[in-house]
């Protein structure tokens, strides 16, 4: 695996604001929906940042901690696929984007969420579903930072490869912040291209 610069802080302000807004939205909408993922994209000068948040179901086909060898293999494969971000996001070569940092987070990857996050997740699920049940949900979050030497070449983003790589993903709710402004787009396998 490529060496990752995990120590770099992810401190892009616009993204933080977008998150705050979206977290409020999530709280009111409740639990995550299988088949649906969220993708925040920020293009700021040469800095291009992606944050993908997906139910684990969309990516590995289950949400419980991997215990069997088959489950562990699936998790390891998913990790590899998620780390191949150049392929996943199909960035135009002309934009000359290089990976600066990428980071994956999920209980399935052995991350221990801090106590606050854990409680929040439970609250969200309980609120959203309106009934008591003990189905175990988990998510996979992937955070990518690129530096693009020719950001003007970023005209469109094609998410086809992301849908193909994780075919249980049927819809991606995209929030894009770019020099052209902010837009919210629902991408689907049939309509996977969006404009910067
Ligand atoms: Zn779930």
Q: Is the pLDDT of residue 190 over 90?
A: yes
pLDDT on residue 111: 74
Average pLDDT over the chain, rounded to whole? 82
- 72-100 tens-digit pLDDT: 999 999 999 999 999 999 999 999 999 99
HEC assignment per residue over 18-49: HHHHHHHHHHHHCCCCCCEEEEEEEEECCEEE
Beta strands 171-178 and 36-44 are parallel
Q: Is the pLDDT of residue 179 over 50?
A: yes
Q: Is the pLDDT of residue 178 over 80?
A: yes
6 CA to middle of ligand 1, Å? 27
87 CA to middle of ligand 1, Å? 26
pLDDT on residue 19: 53
**CA geometry: angle 137, 139, 145, nearest 5 deg:** 175
Nearest Cα residue to 50 out of 5, 88, 4: 88
* Percent of the chain whose pLDDT exceeds 90: 69
26 CA to middle of ligand 1, Å? 14
4 CA to middle of ligand 1, Å? 29
Contact 88, 81 (CB under 8 A): yes
pLDDT on residue 4: 43
* Percent of the chain whose pLDDT exceeds 70: 72
64 CA to middle of ligand 1, Å? 9
The H-or-E segment that residue 51 falls in is strand 47-55
The span from the CA of 105 to the CA of 82, in Å, is 11
Mean pLDDT along residues 43-57: 97
Q: Is the pLDDT of residue 113 over 80?
A: no
Least confident segment among 97-111, 129-143, 152-166, 171-185: 129-143
Q: Residue 120 burial (CB < 10 Å; 0-12/13-18/19+)?
A: middle
- 142-173 tens-digit pLDDT: 999 999 999 999 999 999 999 999 999 999 99
Distant-in-sequence, close-in-space partners of 138: CB < 8 Å, separation ≥ 6:
55, 56, 63, 64, 65, 106, 107, 108
pLDDT on residue 123: 45
């Amino acid at each position: 695996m490529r060496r990752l610069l995990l120590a770099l802080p992810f401190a892009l302000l616009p993204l933080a604001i977008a998150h705050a807004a979206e977290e409020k939205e999530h709280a009111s909408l409740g639990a995550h929906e299988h088949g649906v993922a969220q993708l925040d994209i920020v293009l700021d000068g040469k800095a291009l940042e992606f944050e993908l948040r997906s139910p684990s179901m969309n990516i590995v086909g289950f949400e419980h901690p991997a215990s069997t060898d088959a489950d562990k293999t699936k998790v390891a494969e998913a990790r590899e696929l998620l780390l191949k971000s150049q392929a996943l996001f199909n960035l135009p070569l002309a934009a000359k984007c290089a990976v600066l940092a990428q980071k994956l987070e999920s209980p399935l990857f052995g991350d221990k969420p801090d106590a606050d996050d854990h409680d929040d997740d439970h609250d969200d699920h309980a609120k959203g579903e309106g009934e008591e049940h003990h189905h175990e949900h988990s998510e996979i979050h992937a955070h990518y930072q690129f530096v693009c030497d020719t950001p003007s070449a970023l005209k469109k983003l094609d998410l086809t490869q992301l849908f193909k790589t994780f075919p249980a993903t049927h819809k991606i709710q995209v929030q894009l912040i770019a020099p052209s402004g902010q837009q919210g787009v629902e991408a689907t396998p049939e309509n996977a291209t969006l404009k910067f």
